[in-house]
Amino acid sequence: MSEQKIKKPAAVISVAIQKGGSAKTTLAVNLAAELGSQGYNVLVIDVDPQANASAHISVAHPSTLSKNASTLFRGNLEEIMASIQVETNPGFENVHLIPGSLELDQSVEESLRNHSPRPYEEMRRRIGLLREAYDVIIIDTPPSLRLLTGNALAASTHYIVPIETSSQYPLYGVADLVAYIERIKESINPDLVNIGVLISRHDERRRAC
């Protein structure tokens, strides 16, 4: 990687689609590993309560970690810094992690909804300092279009949509996803850029593909 390619503040890339099992996590962790192996300093933020990306990347099991991505929704700077896992598994060179946790589902969604004056903008408000410390930030999102995904998209500079083409079902939700992202762009984040759609499990023998 040449020095000229590094442009801080970091690009923030959300991997998002509300359909479960669409390879969001697979894409997020492999993209992080590849960029890390090229010498980029990468931070993965796991805002999925399932914490699947964290299970790939973290040395310790995500459920044993006391600090997690909830700090990005309601923490102060010190708590956010304390939630960064610097030690990560082999294959994740130069990759740091802010892990996912069930806490995101159980209490963060609820406190955003009930107590935040700007429930979609808490993460956007807090991510600025991290953007100065990394080359790329990748956010793995849950299979929903609720506040966790909304915050991730509002805090991002870019997004990628992974779509599995081996069945027609993933396509049904794409119009809803596009409308949701348009609303976030109009109300909060007009500069959000779509990097593209990543097609997976493509099989030309099937009519759906």
Ligand X SMILES: Nc1ncnc2c1ncn2[C@@H]1O[C@H](COP(=O)(O)OP(=O)(O)OP(=O)(O)O)[C@@H](O)[C@H]1O
Applying CB under 6 A, the residues found at the interface with ligand X are 20-26, 48, 50, 52, 143, 200-201
Q: How far is the CB of 22 from ligand X (least distance, A)?
A: 4
The interface partner of residue 201, options being Mg ion, ligand X, none and the CB cut-off 5 to 8 Å by kind, is ligand X
Distance of alpha carbon 111 from alpha carbon 88, whole angstroms? 30
Binders of Mg ion: how many residues, by CB under 5 A?
A: 3
The listed partner (ligand X, Mg ion, none) that binds 200, CB under 5 to 8 Å by sort, is: ligand X
Angle between helices 147-154 and 174-187 (to 10 degrees): 60
Residue 196 in 3-state DSSP? strand
Rg (CA), the chain: 16
Q: Binding to Mg ion by residue 25, rule CB under 5 A?
A: yes
58 binds Mg ion (CB under 5 A): no
Contact by Cβ (8 Å): 32, 95: yes
- Does the footprint of Mg ion cover residue 149 (CB under 5 A)? no
Phi, psi of 12 (to 5 degrees): -115, 115
Residue nearest to Mg ion (CB): 25
Element housing 26 (H / E)? helix 24-37
- Provide the 3-class DSSP secondary structure of residue 36: helix
**Minimum Å distance from CB 7 to Mg ion?**
28
Residue 99 has a CB neighbour count (10 Å cut-off) of 27
Q: How far is the CB of 148 from ligand X (least distance, A)?
A: 11
Tell me which of Mg ion, ligand X, none is bound by residue 26, counting a contact when its beta carbon lies within the kind-specific cut-off of 5 to 8 angstroms: ligand X
Given 14, 18, 22, 52, the residue binding Mg ion (CB under 5 A):
52
